[in-house]
Amino acid sequence: MKKVIANTTVECTEEGYLTDFGQWNKDIARAIAKEQGIELGDDHWKVIEYLQEKHQKEEALTIRGIKKSGVIDVKTFYKLFPGGPLKKATMIAGIPKPKGCI
């Protein structure tokens, strides 16, 4: 389905995940974050970059992976992306919802 985010028409799933990472940019990330009630700061961007790297390497994304990443501790991850941190973080990062997320 098509959706306008940050004045850009993008393709996304019914849940709001981009279907084409090539359409992602930081303005779109900020707009998606705002829809989720999140204002992005430096720590958010570190997590987003980490998730995008893992996705590009086709590695599975998990909370455990975040914990082991050294990028951020799990408690902070939950504070940065409240109410489903991995779902919200991947949505903002412009990558597909991880298989383990309901």
12 a catalytic residue: no
Give Cβ neighbours of residue 62 (< 8 Å, ≥ 6 apart): 86, 98, 100
Query: CB burial class (10 A; 0-12, 13-18, 19+) of residue 48?
Result: buried
Q: Residue 56 half-sphere exposure, CB side, CA atoms within 13 Å?
A: 10
Tokens matching residue 17: 């995940």
Tokens matching residue 29: 């990330």
Q: Which of 6, 31, 40, 101 is catalytic?
A: 101
Q: Which are the catalytic amino acids?
A: 101
